[in-house]
A and B are shown apart, each in its own frame.
Chain A
Amino acid sequence: MNHSEAADKFNKDFDRTTWHDETLWWVRQKRDRAAFAIPEWEDLRNTASQIKHNVLSNLDTYLIEFEKNAKANGVTVHWAADAHEHNQIVLSILKEQGIQQIVKSKSMLTEECHLNPFLAENGVEVIDTDLGERIVQLADEPPSHIVMPCIHWKKEEIGVLFHKHLGTPEGCADPSTLTLAAREHLREKFLTRRVALTGVNFAVAETGEFVVCTNEGNADMGTHLADVHIACMGIEKIVPKRKHLGVFLRLLARSATGQPITTYSSHFAKPREGQQMHIVLVDNGRSRQLGREEFRNSLKCIRCGACMNTCPVYRRSGGHSYHNAVAGPIGSILAPNLDMTKNADLPFASTLCGSCSNVCPVKINIHEQLYSWRQVLTKSGHSPTAKTIGMKAMAAVLSSPSVYRFSGKIGRLTLSNTPFVVNNSLNPWYKQREMPEPPKESFGEWYKKNRK
C-alpha cells in the first residue's frame, strides 16, 4: 500500500484523524513555547547545523578517533556495512553469551535494520522497554512516531491490550494505572535479563563516550543491571567534542516535546566493572547518502521528531502510512536512499509548505530535499504510474494552444452540464471538497469579445 492509499484508509475515521492531528499540533505548540523562551534559539540552530556539517566533512577521521578512544575505554567496537551485518553482529554477541532473552530501549536504527524479527527468527526474545514501544510491540505493530511510538493509540485501546497481556482490570483506561502495570511488568524483565541493547543519541569522538537520552530511565535500568550492554548507532551520530553536547542537549528535548531536557542524559564511557560494552557502528546506506550532494544534509538529523509534529500531512495520515522506520518529512528524504523503488511515493507525501525546515533544530532543508527527490525519482523512472500518466497528459495539453482551448471548453461544459462525470469517487480532486462554479467562458474568450 503506498502512502496515499494508506492515508486514505487512516482518514476513513474522521474523528480519529482530527484527534491525531490535534494531539501532534499540541506537541508542536509545546515545542514553540520552549524554543521561544530561549533568546539565542536561532544561534543554537545555526551552531548545531555547522557542527554537523563539520562532522559530515570529516566523518572518517572522527570515526577513527571515536573508535580509538572507545577501545581505550574498554569498549568493543564493531562495524556493520548494512542492516544484515548489524543483525548478525548482535546475534553473534548473544550466541557468545548463550543468551536468548534481552531487553531493549528505544533505537530507531534497530527498527531500520528490522532487528526484532531477525532475532525472533533466531530464537531470541526481545522485550522493548520504552512504554510506547512495549505497547506497539504487544500489538505486533511498528512504532508510528520516532519519539512517541504509540501516538496513534487511544487509552481505551491500550486498556484492552493491557487487560489481555498484563492482566489489568477490564475496562481500565487510566494512564496512571496502566503505566504502573507496565512498570511492574518491565521491572521483572530488567531484573532478570543479562543483555541490554540501546540506541545512541550522540557519540563523542574526543572521548569515546556516547549519550543516550530517555525520560523513563529504561535505558539505564536495562544497562546497569545487565552483564552486557550493546549500543547500536548510525555512523552519523558522531559529534567532535564533549562540549558540543551542550548545544545538542539544549535543542533535542525542546524540539521533541517542549521539555527543557530529557529526564536522563546518560553518558556511557566505560563498562561497569565486570560488564562488557559493545558499540556497533552501522553504515546501511549512510555513506551513499553522504555522496549525494543535494541530500547529504539529511544525515544531520538528531531524531527529535519536530518535523513530524508540525507536518500537516503526517498529522492527518499517521506514521504507519509512510511504511518506513522513520516516518514524516525526515523519513521521506531518508527512505528513498534505502530503497528508491519501495519508497518512491514518500517524497510526494508533502505539500512542500516548508514547516518542517522551519522547526528543524539542525536546519535541514527538508522541504527542498523533498522537492529534489521528486525530480530524481521521476527522472529515474520511479515516480508513481498515475502521476506519470497525469503529468504526460498535462504536458500534452499545455504545449498545444488549440488542445488547451478545446480542453478548457470541455471542462467547463462537463462541470456545468454533467458534473457526475467528474464528481465521483474515482476522482481524488473531489475527496472532501466541493468544486467551484465553472465560469461561462475562459479569460481568452472574454478578452477576445471585450478588447477594444
Chain B
Amino acid sequence: MSREKILAAVAKNKPTLTPLPDIQDFGNPYSDLVAQFTSVLTTIGGTVVEVRSWEEIQQYVQTHFAGRRMVTNLAPLADMAQQSWLTSDPHSLDDVGLAILQGQFAVAENSAVWVTEAEMGQRVTPFIAETLALVIQKSAILPKMHHAYAQIGAAEYGFGAFIAGPSKTADIEQSLVLGAHGPKSMVAFLID
C-alpha cells in the first residue's frame, strides 16, 4: 500500500519537531474600513455602491440591469427574480445576467468578500453569472485576513470562497482583461 509506504518514509525523514508560531492579527491600520474596501475593490475592477435601503438596491438594479435574467435568494429582493433556479440543474444558469447574493463579511485590506454555499444558493452561481452583485453590511467589513479567519472560526460549510472583484486574466502579454470565464463585472452593495 502506497499510503503506508509514504507515511513511513515521511516519519523516517522528517526533521525534529518545531513548534507552530503564534498567529497575530497585526491590528487595524485603517481609520475608515469602508473607504479602504472601496479603494481596493475599485482598483481591481469592481464597483462599490453605498445604499441605505433595499429599495435603493432595487432601483440600481432596474436602472443598470433591466432585461437581464436575474437570480437571487435574498428575501427583500424576492419579487424581482424567480426562485425556481435554486433547485434547477446548475448548467441551466449559463444565461444568468445578474446574480445578487449576500456576502457574510468583507475584508478591507484586499476587498475580498466571504460567501459560502448557503448564500450562493448553488455553488456555481457567483461564477457563472455575467455580473455578480454581493450585498454586504457596512458593519461587516473587517481589517485583514487574520480577522476574517477569526470570524469564520470553526464554522462548517461544504464550500466557501473569498471573492475579490470580477473574474480576470492577464495571460496575454500581461494586459488585464475582465471577464475571463466568470463575471465580467462585480458590484458590492454596501448597506447600512
Q: Which residues of A contact B (CB under 8 A)?
A: 23, 26-27, 39-40, 43, 46-47, 50-51, 53-54, 56-60, 63-64, 79-81, 85, 129-132, 135, 148-151, 153-155, 158, 175-176, 178-180, 183, 186-187, 190-191, 215-218, 220-221, 224-225, 235, 240, 242-247, 249-250, 257, 259-272, 281, 283, 287-288, 290-291, 293, 296
Assess whether A80 is in contact with B9, with CB atoms less than 8 Å apart. Answer: no
Residues of B within 8 A of A150 (CB): 171-172
User: In the complex, which of the residues B127, B158, B162, B169 contacts A221, with contact meaning CB atoms closer than 8 Å?
Assistant: B127
Residues of B within 8 A of A272 (CB): 123, 158-159
Which residues of B from 144 to 165 have beta carbons under 8 Å from A?
144-146, 148-150, 152, 154, 156-165
Whole-angstrom distance between the alpha carbons of A132 and B169 in the complex?
Answer: 9
Assess whether B172 is in contact with A158, with CB atoms less than 8 Å apart. Answer: yes
What is the chain B residue whose CB lies nearest that of A291? Answer: B13
Assess whether A56 is in contact with B165, with CB atoms less than 8 Å apart. Answer: no
CB distance from A202 to the nearest CB of B (A): 12
Assess whether A217 is in contact with B180, with CB atoms less than 8 Å apart. Answer: yes
B11 within 8 Å of A by Cβ? yes
Assess whether A59 is in contact with B14, with CB atoms less than 8 Å apart. Answer: yes
Could you name 25 residue pairs across A and B whose Cβ atoms are closer than 8 Å? Answer: A43-B24, A51-B21, A54-B17, A130-B171, A148-B170, A155-B175, A180-B179, A216-B168, A217-B127, A217-B182, A220-B127, A220-B182, A221-B124, A224-B123, A225-B124, A246-B145, A249-B162, A257-B170, A260-B111, A261-B110, A264-B162, A266-B160, A267-B160, A269-B156, A272-B158
Assess whether A155 is in contact with B172, with CB atoms less than 8 Å apart. Answer: yes
Assess whether A40 is in contact with B26, with CB atoms less than 8 Å apart. Answer: yes
What is the chain A residue whose CB lies nearest that of B175? Answer: A175
Assess whether A26 is in contact with B18, with CB atoms less than 8 Å apart. Answer: no
Whole-angstrom distance between the alpha carbons of A64 and B128 in the complex?
Answer: 35
User: In the complex, which of the residues A151, A191, A246 contacts B149, with contact meaning CB atoms closer than 8 Å?
Assistant: A246
Residues of A within 8 A of B94 (CB): 187, 191
Assess whether A183 is in contact with B6, with CB atoms less than 8 Å apart. Answer: no
Which residues of B from 9 to 30 have beta carbons under 8 Å from A?
9-21, 23-24, 26, 29
CB distance from A246 to the nearest CB of B (A): 4
Residues of B within 8 A of A56 (CB): 14-15
Apart from A47-B21, A217-B127, A288-B9, what 8 extra A-B contacts exist at CB < 8 Å? Answer: A23-B173, A47-B23, A50-B20, A60-B7, A85-B2, A154-B173, A221-B182, A267-B157
B103 within 8 Å of A by Cβ? no
Assess whether B145 is in contact with A249, with CB atoms less than 8 Å apart. Answer: yes
Residues of A within 8 A of B158 (CB): 269-272
B40 within 8 Å of A by Cβ? yes
Assess whether A129 is in contact with B181, with CB atoms less than 8 Å apart. Answer: yes
Known: A190-B181, A249-B145, A260-B111. A270 touches B7 (CB 8 A): no
What is the chain A residue whose CB lies nearest that of B7? Answer: A60
Residues of A within 8 A of B23 (CB): 47, 243-244, 246-247
Residues of A within 8 A of B5 (CB): 81
CB distance from A108 to the nearest CB of B (A): 16
Residues of B within 8 A of A247 (CB): 23, 145-146
Rank and list the top 4 A-B pairs by shortest CB-CB distance, nearest first. Answer: A291-B13, A217-B182, A260-B110, A216-B180
B52 within 8 Å of A by Cβ? no
Q: Which residues of B contact A (CB under 8 A)?
A: 1-3, 5-7, 9-21, 23-24, 26, 29, 40, 44, 90-91, 94, 109-112, 122-124, 127-128, 144-146, 148-150, 152, 154, 156-175, 177, 179-183
Whole-angstrom distance between the alpha carbons of A46 and B14 in the complex?
Answer: 20
Residues of A within 8 A of B166 (CB): 263
CB distance from A79 to the nearest CB of B (A): 4
Assess whether B174 is in contact with A64, with CB atoms less than 8 Å apart. Answer: no
User: In the complex, which of the residues B24, B127, B181 contacts A186, with contact meaning CB atoms closer than 8 Å?
Assistant: B181
Assess whether B181 is in contact with A51, with CB atoms less than 8 Å apart. Answer: no
Whole-angstrom distance between the alpha carbons of A26 and B174 in the complex?
Answer: 10
Whole-angstrom distance between the alpha carbons of A39 and B109 in the complex?
Answer: 12
Assess whether A27 is in contact with B146, with CB atoms less than 8 Å apart. Answer: no
Residues of B within 8 A of A224 (CB): 90, 122-124, 127-128
Whole-angstrom distance between the alpha carbons of A85 and B1 in the complex?
Answer: 11
Whole-angstrom distance between the alpha carbons of A225 and B128 in the complex?
Answer: 10
What is the chain B residue whose CB lies nearest that of A62? Answer: B10
Residues of B within 8 A of A190 (CB): 181
Whole-angstrom distance between the alpha carbons of A40 and B145 in the complex?
Answer: 13
Residues of A within 8 A of B123 (CB): 220, 224, 272
User: In the complex, which of the residues B10, B144, B181 contacts A63, with contact meaning CB atoms closer than 8 Å?
Assistant: B10
Known: A27-B174, A132-B171, A287-B9. A58 touches B14 (CB 8 A): yes
Whole-angstrom distance between the alpha carbons of A269 and B123 in the complex?
Answer: 12
Whole-angstrom distance between the alpha carbons of A40 and B44 in the complex?
Answer: 22
What is the chain B residue whose CB lies nearest that of A130? Answer: B171
User: In the complex, which of the residues A53, A131, A180, A262 contacts B164, with contact meaning CB atoms closer than 8 Å?
Assistant: A262
Residues of A within 8 A of B90 (CB): 224-225
Assess whether A50 is in contact with B21, with CB atoms less than 8 Å apart. Answer: yes
Assess whether B164 is in contact with A260, with CB atoms less than 8 Å apart. Answer: yes
Assess whether A267 is in contact with B161, with CB atoms less than 8 Å apart. Answer: yes
